[in-house]
Amino acid sequence: MATPTPPLRQRNALIPGVIAATVLIAGIPLIGTEFAITICFIVAILALIIAWLAAQARQWWWTVVMVAIAVLWNPVFPFAFTGAPWLVAHIVASALCVVAGVLISVPREGTGAARG
């Protein structure tokens, strides 16, 4: 029986992407409340982490998307978004975080995949 080979790529942004998506969906009922700022902090920080991981993976398009999410959910100068568009933005950003987490990958160290 052959032993399974480990994946040749690793997805470092997957966990931050899933956490950000969870926070975005869980934060929908908090839109317009005083606790919405907490959601903004968490989402902005995780989006910047994902952006950094995308830059390290040389997947610049995801860096741009994640920086845009970090700007829209920034807690320092928050936008006064409310209503249905902001609800849709939460859902779209949630999906983008998960997709970015799945697609951002780098070669696994020590597998030879980095050599070509």
pLDDT digit string (tens) for 59-74? 999 999 999 999 999 9
Band (110; pLDDT cuts 50, 70, 90): low
The token pair at 6 is 């480990």
pLDDT > 90: what percent of the chain? 59
Band (78; pLDDT cuts 50, 70, 90): confident
24 class by beta-carbon count within 10 Å (0-12 exposed, 13-18 middle, 19+ buried):
buried
